[in-house]
Structure 1
Amino acid sequence: MENAANTARQQGTTTGTELVEVVLPGIVEPEGLQIRHRQIPAPGAGQIVVRVEATGVSFAEQQMRRGRYYDQPPFPFVPGYDLVGTVLTAGGGVTPGLVGKRVASLVKVGGWASHVVLDAADAVEVPAGVGAAEAETLVVNGITAWQMLHRKARVRQGGTILVHGANGGVGTVLVQLARAAGLRVIGTASARHHDALREMGVTPVDYRAEDVPARVRELAPGGVDAVFDHLGGRSVVDSWNLLARGGTLVAYGSATTRDDSGSKQLPVLKILGRVWLWNALPNGRHACFFNVWEGRALGKNRFRARLSADLTQVFEALQRGEVTARIAARLPLTRAAEALRLAESGTVAGKIVLVPDTGAGTSAAEAR
C-alpha cells in the first residue's frame, strides 16, 4: 500500500490518540487507497464514539472502488460496510451503561477506520464471550443471510435450496443457517471449496466445470424451493427457471457485472425489471431483489429494531454452534489494499477482517 504510506496527514493535528482511516479517493486499484489521520471527533447528542476492533471486506467495497456500487457516495469517502468495536465515549441522551460495551453496527460506509462516530441507536450489543473478529463476520453477512432466509424465502423444514457462491461471506452463513433450519442445501463453488462445503452438509456443484442448471435439475428433479443469487446477469434467469412451484428467487447482487463499464444502476434495474415481470405472471413462483436497507421504508425506529432483532438471532445461532465464524484472513487496517486484493482473488472462503494495527495479522500468502 505504497500510496497510502506516503499520503500526508490531510486533516487536523494529532495530539494523543488519533483517528486513522482508509480513504477511497476515486476509481483506483487497491494500491491507490490512502491513509488519513485526524483528531477523533467528539460525540454529539445521541451519539457514541466506537474504537473499532474489527471491520470487514465485502463485495460492496470491491464494487465501490470501481465506482460500480449502485448507491455509493461521491468520491472521496471512507469505505467499510460494517464494524465491531468498544464504545469509548457517549454524548448526551445516551444510556451511560453503553460505554465500555462491545457493539456491532451496519454503516454501509465509514467502517475502515480506527474510530467511528455512530448514532447509539444503530449499535447492537455483542454477547459476552463473542470475539470482535468473529462477530464481524456475522454483521452484514449474517443480517443479509438471516433476512433472506427467514423473512424472504421462508422455506419449510425439509425443503431444498440453491445457494450460489456458497463459499463466500454471505454464502457460508446462509448455508449454515439453512442447515440449522432443516433444509437441504445445494451450493455452487469452485472445486477447491467442495470439501469444506460437504463438511457443512452442502451438496457442492462446480460452477466452472459443470453445467449448473443441468446438475441442479439432476439433484432436484422437481425444482428447488428457493434460490439465492448474487450473480445477476444470465444466472438470475437460470435461477428463476430452477424453482419448483411455490418457490422463491432471492436475487441480491450483480457480481457478474463487477468489471463492466457503463451505468452502475443498469444491472440492478434489469434484475428489478425481471422481478416485476415474473411476479406479474400467474406461475405460482415468486421473485424479489433483496437489499438490507429496504427495511428503512418501515420507518427508522422499526428498521433499527428489526435489524437489532435479526442480528441478535444470528449471534445466538453462533453461541449455539449452529453457525461458525469463518475468517478467511485477519489483516491490519493499514493493509487494506492487500485485503482487498485477496478478497477479489476469489481464492478464500469466509470473511476477510481488518483489525487494529498492532503488528498482528495473517498475510495474504498465509491466508491461502
Structure 2
Amino acid sequence: MTVSETMRAVRIVEHGGPEVLELTEVAVPAPQAGEVLVRVAAVAVNNTDLWTREGAYGRPGDPEALSGWRGPIGFPRIQGADVAGRVVAVGAGVDESLVGRRVVVDPAVYDSEGPDANPVGLMGSERDGGYAEYVTAAAERVHDVTESPLTDDQLAALPTAYGTALGMIERARLREGETVLVSGASGGVGIALIQIARARGARVVAISSGSKIDPVREAGAHEVVDRARDIAEQIRAAAPEGIDVALDVVAGDLVGEGLPLLREGGRWVVAGALGGSGVTFDVRRLYLHNAQLIGSAMHTPTHFGLLMDLARQGEIQPVVAATFPLERAARAQGELARREHVGKIVIHP
C-alpha cells in the first residue's frame, strides 16, 4: 500500500485547555523492528485525553503536579489512545500478511511481557497516539478484527472504555446472578460495564440522571438510580438484598455512601475519580464485612484478548454519540467534557 511522507496530526506541546491542541503536518512515523504502521480510520475520545492534556493525573507524593497518565510527558505529543484502522506497512521481523488487515490497537504500554502484565503507559500520553492519519504500534499489540461486524467507529470505542470495563469486571471476579452497581453509567466506560455485566448474567443497577436515564436503561440496566436524588435510599429500594459488586468510575462521596450497601464479601472496584479523588469512608464497613476495595487501571493483555473475541463475535454493541473530523478535535474534547452525551465520541482522521 502506498503511504505518503507527511500526515496531519493533532498534538499538544504543553499542558493546558483545549487551546493547546494544534493541528499540524508531521512526518509519517516509520515502523521500527517489531512494529506495524496503521492508517487510522477512527479514534475515540476519552477522559484520559482530557486529563493528559490538562496534566491532571498528579504524581505519587505530589498530587498537584502536572503529569501525564503515569508521569511527565515528552512534548510534543500526539494524543489519542483508541485506534481502529488498517495495517499499511510492517517493520523488520513482522509477518507481512498483516498488511491490509483491519485492526484495533491495544493502547497500553505494559510493565512486562506476560499475559497478566500491568499497564504503566498509554498511547497518547507515554507514546504518540491516534489523533493522526497514521500511528505505529508494536505488532503484538495489534489485534486482527477484519471479520468483526462492528463499524470502525464502534471498534475505536472499545480499547480504553471497554478495556477498562472488562478489567474492572475481571478484577471484581463477577459471577452470574450477582447484583452490580454501575456509577457514571452514561459515559463510555459506564455503557461498557452495563453491556459486559449483562452478558455475564449479572443484574445491573446503574446511576445516571436526567435525559440520560432512558438511554442507560436501553443499554441494558435493569434499574436506574437518579443521582439527583438520595442515591443510597434508591439503591436500597432497587437492591434490598444489597450489592455484590460496585463498578465505580465516580469515587468521591459515593464510596463512603455506598460501602455500607455491599453484601458480605462484596467488592468495590474503582477505576476513575469523576466525583473527586478525595474519599472518606467508615473503615469498619470494610473489614467487618470482609469487603474489598480494589483499584483497577485499564486491562491486562489477557483482558484485551477477551475483549477482541467479543468484538469479533459482535457480542457487544458500542454506542457512538457523535463523530468529528480531525481539525475539530478540540470541539470533540469539549463535547466530552460537557458530559451531555451517551456513549462514545469519535474522531475521523
For residues 198-243 of structure 1, give each alpha carbon's deviation from its aligned partner in whole angstroms, at most 9, with x where no partner exists. Answer: 22342111112x1111210121123101111111222222232221
| Residue 39 of structure 2 corresponds to residue 39 of structure 1 | no
Amino acid at match of 1:31: E
| Residue 93 of structure 2 corresponds to residue 87 of structure 1 | no
Confirm or deny: 8 A CA contact 2:39 2:86 kept in the other structure: yes
Q: Secondary structure at the match of 2:240?
A: coil
Amino acid at match of 2:329: A
Amino acid at match of 2:308: T
Confirm or deny: 8 A CA contact 1:278 1:287 kept in the other structure: no
The alignment's TM-score, normalised by the length of structure 2, stands at 0.83
Match of 1:284 in 2: 290
Please give the alpha-carbon distance, in whole angstroms, between the structure 2 residues aligned to 1:40 and 1:200: 39
Report the alpha carbon displacement of residue 76 of structure 1 after superposing the two structures with TM.
Answer: 3.6
Q: Describe the shift of the 1:72–1:334 C-alpha distance in structure 2 as closer, same or farther (beyond 3 A).
A: farther
Bigger proportion of residues as strand: 2
Confirm or deny: 8 A CA contact 2:167 2:303 kept in the other structure: no
For residues 109-130 of structure 1, give each alpha carbon's deviation from its aligned partner in whole angstroms, at most 9, with x where no partner exists. Answer: 1221111111111111114243
Residue 334 of structure 1: which of 310, 324, 327 is its match?
A: 327
Amino acid at match of 1:349: V
Q: List 4+ stretches of structure 1 deviating above 4 A.
A: 277-280
Match of 1:348 in 2: 341
Confirm or deny: 8 A CA contact 1:229 1:251 kept in the other structure: yes
Instruction: Give the RMSD, CA atoms, in angstroms.
Output: 2.3
Match of 1:19 in 2: 7
For residues 284-304 of structure 1, give each alpha carbon's deviation from its aligned partner in whole angstroms, at most 9, with x where no partner exists. Answer: 2111010126x4xxxxxxxx3
Pairs within 5 Å for 1:290-305 = 290-292=296-298, 295=300, 304=301
The alignment's TM-score, normalised by the length of structure 1, stands at 0.79
Match of 1:263 in 2: none
Q: Describe the shift of the 1:25–1:236 C-alpha distance in structure 2 as closer, same or farther (beyond 3 A).
A: farther
Match of 1:118 in 2: 137
Please give the alpha-carbon distance, in whole angstroms, between the structure 1 residues aligned to 2:332 and 2:287: 44
Please give the alpha-carbon distance, in whole angstroms, between the structure 2 residues aligned to 1:50 and 1:307: 22
Q: Secondary structure at the match of 2:80?
A: coil
Report the alpha carbon displacement of residue 95 of structure 1 after superposing the two structures with TM.
Answer: 0.8
Gaps of 5+ in 1: 1-14, 258-266, 296-303, 357-368
| Residue 193 of structure 2 corresponds to residue 197 of structure 1 | no
Confirm or deny: 8 A CA contact 2:166 2:303 kept in the other structure: no
Pairs within 5 Å for 1:164-179 = 164-179=183-198
Q: Describe the shift of the 1:76–1:279 C-alpha distance in structure 2 as closer, same or farther (beyond 3 A).
A: farther
Q: Describe the shift of the 1:92–1:76 C-alpha distance in structure 2 as closer, same or farther (beyond 3 A).
A: closer
Q: Secondary structure at the match of 1:354?
A: strand
Report the alpha carbon displacement of residue 307 of structure 1 after superposing the two structures with TM.
Answer: 4.3
Pairs within 5 Å for 1:94-105 = 94-105=94-105
Q: Describe the shift of the 1:37–1:281 C-alpha distance in structure 2 as closer, same or farther (beyond 3 A).
A: same
Match of 1:140 in 2: 160
Match of 2:112 in 1: none
Bigger proportion of residues as helix: 1
Please give the alpha-carbon distance, in whole angstroms, between the structure 1 residues aligned to 2:29 and 2:272: 34
Confirm or deny: 8 A CA contact 2:106 2:304 kept in the other structure: no
Q: Describe the shift of the 1:86–1:225 C-alpha distance in structure 2 as closer, same or farther (beyond 3 A).
A: same
Amino acid at match of 1:285: A
Q: Secondary structure at the match of 1:255?
A: coil
Match of 1:131 in 2: 151
Match of 2:114 in 1: none
Confirm or deny: 8 A CA contact 1:143 1:314 kept in the other structure: no
Please give the alpha-carbon distance, in whole angstroms, between the structure 2 residues aligned to 1:223 and 1:168: 24
